[in-house]
Amino acid sequence: MTKRNKIIYWIATIWLALGMLSTGVVQLFRAKAGQGGVDSIIHLGYPVYFLTIMGIWKFLGVLTVLIPKFPLLKEWAYAGFFFAMTGAIFSHIATGDSVIEIFPSLLLLILTIVSWYFRPADRKVILANQ
């Protein structure tokens, strides 16, 4: 892995972790207002208990992406982030939200893809037939 790719990976991964952790905390504490809070989740048509589920998953996903080893578990964490963010984007689009309200989810989706793409070899799943 080149130094450039390693820098890109760590910048994207740290920003992804901070974004997922901060929104996960907002969701776990069920903040009234703000991105991903109670008002937002109700506006999108989801039950409030969904905040707890998403908050826990985001926290566990951040831990998984940051700790060494467990490449298969990392794949699942990245997939979970991908599905959560694409779901959030399409939920905002379906309710007619503006681009400003869609942007945080879109940014986290981009960071997820960049972090996954530039991850080091020891964080990738290696198939037996390769």
Residue 37 is predicted with a pLDDT of 81
Determine the distance from the C-alpha atom of residue 37 to the mean position of all C-alpha atoms in its chain, rounded to a whole number: 16
Q: How many domains does the chain have?
A: 1
- Domain encompassing residue 56: 3-119
Please say if the pLDDT value at position 122 is more than 90. Answer: no
Classify residue 129: in a domain, yes or no.
no
Alpha-carbon distances, residue 78 vs 32, 48, 57, 93, 120 (angstroms): 28, 24, 11, 22, 14
pLDDT digits 0-9 by tens, 22-56: 999 999 998 776 666 888 899 999 999 999 999 99
Residue 30: φ, ψ to 5°? 50, 55
Does the residue 36 lie in any domain?
yes
Asked, for residue 27, whether it belongs to a domain, the answer is: yes
In tens, the pLDDT along 106-118 reads 999 999 999 999 9
Please state, in angstroms and rounded to a whole number, the distance separating the CA atoms of residues 115 and 121.
Answer: 12
Task: Note the helical H segments in the chain.
Answer: 3-28, 38-43, 49-66, 71-94, 99-117
Query: Is residue 128 assigned to a domain?
Result: no
Has residue 52 been placed in a domain?
yes
Which residue from 66, 64, 41 is spatially nearest to 51, judged by alpha carbons?
41
